[in-house]
């Protein structure tokens, strides 16, 4: 695991995957470690299916990620409160709803009074 929304996928060669539509806390930001641990708990050592949407400027494959049982990993991370719905790149209504539910339920990073989105943290 690189962080809560990026991991290395082992195929014939290793590819770096950036999970589509979400943005988890950055290194040095509150909940970064917990987000990374949550995502690792979902996918580490498991076979996953990925649907590649694009390749970003860093060479990462931006993907939807599914477990073998069909669980949509992108949504589970947002549901648990360990990522924001990244509205700049995604208009997924389900991710938006899950973020609202997590915020209202004060799950994960939404326990903080005023969590700082990663895109704002990066600007600092």
Supply the residues annotated as catalytic. Answer: 18, 26, 60
The answer to whether the beta carbons of residues 115 and 30 sit under 8 Å apart is: yes
CB neighbour class for 67 (10 Å; exposed up to 12, middle 13-18, buried from 19):
middle
Q: Which residues have C-beta within 8 Å of that of residue 22, sequence separation ≥ 6? A: 5, 74, 77, 78, 83, 84, 85, 86, 90, 95
């Amino acid at each position: 695991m690189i962080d809560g929304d990026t991991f290395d996928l082992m195929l014939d060669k290793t590819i770096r995957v950036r999970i589509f539509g979400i943005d988890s806390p950055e290194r040095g930001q509150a909940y970064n470690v917990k987000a990374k641990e949550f995502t690792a708990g979902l996918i580490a050592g498991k076979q996953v299916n990925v649907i590649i949407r694009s390749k970003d400027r860093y060479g990462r494959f931006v993907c939807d990620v599914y477990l073998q049982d069909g669980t949509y990993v992108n949504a589970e991370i947002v549901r648990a409160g360990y990522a924001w719905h990244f509205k700049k790149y995604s208009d997924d209504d389900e991710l938006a709803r899950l973020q609202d539910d997590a915020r209202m339920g004060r799950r994960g990073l939404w326990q903080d009074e005023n969590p700082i989105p990663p895109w704002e943290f990066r600007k600092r």
